[in-house]
């Protein structure tokens, strides 16, 4: 198992605990959008759910986002009538309301707030004006940096593209063309893209697709929409059974070859109690899946719940240790903004997280209209930003009356132990070291441990004023955290480039 810090966003490293419970992390909203559709070619608005990626590319922040490029001959007279719109299915109706071609755009930033839309000179507008548009017709697109492919294919993109696929309903006619296929593109620089001529997965695009390379399994992984009771057959979509329950779920596929994914398998869906009755139930909309920053084997989804009665969406955290089985928080991580703000209708998290100093920055698309009530162009939609502490998605919180937590075995290979904690002004935390049999190690007992106060992401743990770590015959210890009114986010052995290593119960044959 690779060396890593211990994240306490779940109970994976917990042997037992008392008076300690999981708590969702706090986000700090930047009330103003950091990127708005302020260019003439962006009059159709920033679109998608979220159709946005943010990557820290060697110190420079890069964003790929999607707009509806309003045709020059657009007018309200070209829109379908209310009666014509009412006769269409929801998907087709909403797509037509965009009334413009989806365009992939690019922006860069040094501080994460001020974004530069310098022209890439790849797509012109209005008779030759240079723009930051890169590619037309890309929906549901996200970008990742491939750590294993050749430089010419360093950047990869998964996206919807191509002609709309036929949607066949055996007991109805005519056949409609609704969804796009799932395609892939590659680039040496993130600007000049080559799109594969054939789909990379025999499936359909109905939300923002996400892909990345997973070092732990040595495979590419893709996350897509799976609609219950909707299948993909003969290069088109079709309902499985007349009158069967329909709801949105999250599917996953993995492959040795980015350009050839098998059909997805469902990995996350709302429970029957959550989704029924449909009028007041919810769906799992997008995935916004990623590998947790600074780790290789902690997986996160920042997926939006779609609440049918309210016709609005908000972001919920889901975590996993294998990238397949996720635990989803009931409480939202990010809700729509207050009335009058750009994100008061719905929020969709972008793919990717940026770590700068002690902070983690997340980006999202916000809009001030409800899901099924798209206004006609020109419309807004914008990209917002939230800040949170590094490794701060969730934590273990000791109650005011006190609590304790014992970890699974940890390999000691560093010179000192540091913790990411928030004890505020009135909390406290200390760490006792135990051997594998569970006995306190002399000199590192609860009585020897010094109290840790305040709010610090890199607080060094000490015992009787010393930070030295003991040597054990096994090279492993258990950590016992004791405290009150304190939040524990992470811990890590540091020094000489070495870090602690978790030894899982499964690896040790423990139960």
C-beta separation of 445 from 466 below 8 A? no
Query: The tokens of 364 are what?
Result: 């999202």
> What backbone torsions phi and psi does residue 485 show, to the nearest 5 degrees?
50, 40
DSSP string, 109-132: ESSSSSEE----SSSEETTTEE-S
Flag whether pLDDT at 97 surpasses 90: no
Q: What is the predicted pLDDT for the residue at 173?
A: 72
Q: What is the predicted pLDDT for the residue at 128?
A: 79
Q: What is the predicted pLDDT for the residue at 127?
A: 79
Across the chain, mean pLDDT equals 90
C-beta separation of 356 from 49 below 8 A? no
CA–CA separation, 39 vs 132, rounded Å?
A: 10
5-52 pLDDT tens trace:
999 999 999 999 999 999 999 999 998 999 999 999 998 889 999 999
Q: What is the predicted pLDDT for the residue at 374?
A: 77
Q: Tell me the average pLDDT across 293-321.
A: 97
Domain spans in the chain, listed from the N-terminal domain onward: 6-24+395-508, 28-391
The model's confidence at residue 98, banded by pLDDT at 50, 70 and 90, is low
Q: What is the predicted pLDDT for the residue at 504?
A: 41
CA–CA separation, 179 vs 199, rounded Å?
A: 13
Query: The tokens of 39 are what?
Result: 């260019």
378-388 pLDDT tens trace:
677 899 999 99
Q: Helix-strand-coil percent breakdown of the chain, rounded to 5?
A: 5, 45, 45
CA–CA separation, 182 vs 223, rounded Å?
A: 11
Q: What is the predicted pLDDT for the residue at 385?
A: 98
Is the Cα dihedral 82, 87, 90, 95 positive or negative? negative
Please tell me the number of Cα atoms within 13 Å of 1 on its side-chain side.
19
Give the count of beta carbons closer than 10 Å to the beta carbon of residue 421: 30
The model's confidence at residue 84, banded by pLDDT at 50, 70 and 90, is low
C-beta separation of 221 from 253 below 8 A? yes
pTM of the model: 0.92
Flag whether pLDDT at 505 surpasses 50: no
Flag whether pLDDT at 119 surpasses 70: yes
CATH T-level fold of 6-24+395-508: Jelly Rolls (2.60.120)
The model's confidence at residue 498, banded by pLDDT at 50, 70 and 90, is very low
Q: Tell me the average pLDDT across 174-184.
A: 89
123-133 pLDDT tens trace:
988 877 899 99
Q: What is the predicted pLDDT for the residue at 503?
A: 44
Query: The tokens of 408 are what?
Result: 């699974």
* Domain spanning 28-391, CATH class: mainly beta
DSSP string, 222-233: EEEEEETTEEEE
Q: Which helix (H) or strand (E) holds 92?
A: helix 90-98
């Amino acid at each position: 198992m690779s060396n890593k810090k211990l994240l306490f966003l779940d109970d994976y490293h917990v042997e037992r605990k008392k008076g300690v419970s999981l708590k969702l992390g706090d986000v700090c909203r930047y009330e103003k959008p950091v990127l708005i559709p302020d260019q003439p070619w962006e009059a159709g608005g920033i679109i998608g759910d979220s159709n946005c990626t943010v990557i820290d590319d060697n110190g420079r922040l890069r964003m790929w986002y999607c707009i509806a490029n309003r045709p020059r001959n657009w007018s309200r007279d070209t829109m379908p009538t209310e009666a014509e719109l009412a006769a269409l299915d929801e998907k087709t109706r909403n797509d037509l309301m965009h009334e413009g071609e989806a365009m992939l755009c690019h922006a860069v930033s040094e501080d994460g707030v001020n974004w530069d839309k310098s022209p890439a000179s790849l797509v012109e507008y209005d008779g030759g004006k240079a723009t930051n548009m890169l590619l037309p017709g890309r929906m549901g697109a996200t970008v990742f940096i491939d750590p294993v492919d050749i430089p010419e294919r360093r950047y990869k993109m998964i996206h919807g593209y191509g002609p709309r696929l036929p949607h066949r309903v055996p007991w109805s006619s005519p056949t409609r063309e609704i969804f796009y296929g799932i395609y892939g593109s590659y680039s040496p620089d993130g600007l000049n893209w080559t799109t594969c001529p054939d789909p990379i997965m025999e499936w359909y695009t109905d939300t923002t697709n996400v892909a990345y390379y997973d070092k732990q399994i040595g495979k590419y992984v893709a996350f897509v929409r799976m609609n219950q009771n909707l299948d993909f057959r003969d290069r088109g979509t079709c309902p499985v059974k007349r009158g069967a329950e329909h709801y949105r779920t999250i599917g996953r596929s993995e492959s040795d070859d980015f350009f050839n994914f098998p059909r997805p398998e469902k990995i996350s869906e709302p429970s029957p109690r959550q989704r029924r009755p449909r009028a007041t139930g919810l769906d799992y909309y997008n995935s916004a899946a990623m590998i947790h920053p600074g780790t290789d084997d902690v997986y996160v989804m920042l997926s939006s719940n779609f609440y049918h009665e309210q016709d609005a969406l908000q972001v919920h955290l889901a975590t996993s240790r294998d990238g397949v089985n996720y635990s989803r928080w009931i409480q939202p991580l990010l809700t729509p903004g207050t009335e009058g703000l750009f994100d008061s209708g719905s929020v969709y998290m972008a793919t990717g997280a940026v770590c700068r100093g002690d902070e983690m920055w997340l980006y999202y698309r916000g809009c001030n209209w409800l899901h099924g009530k798209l206004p006609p162009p020109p419309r807004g939609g914008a990209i917002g930003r939230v800040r949170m502490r590094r490794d701060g998605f969730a934590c273990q919180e000791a109650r005011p009356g006190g609590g304790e937590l014992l970890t699974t075995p940890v390999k000691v290979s560093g010179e000192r132990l540091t913790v990411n904690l928030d004890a505020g002004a009135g909390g406290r935390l200390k760490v006792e070291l135990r051997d594998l049999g569970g006995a306190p190690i002399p000199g590192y007992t609860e009585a020897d441990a010094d109290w840790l106060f305040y709010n610090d992401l890199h607080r060094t743990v000490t015992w009787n004023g010393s930070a030295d770590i003991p040597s054990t015959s096994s090279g492993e210890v258990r950590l016992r955290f004791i405290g009150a009114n304190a939040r524990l986010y992470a811990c890590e052995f540091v020094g000489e480039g070495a870090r602690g290593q978790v030894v899982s119960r499964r690896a040790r044959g423990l139960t």
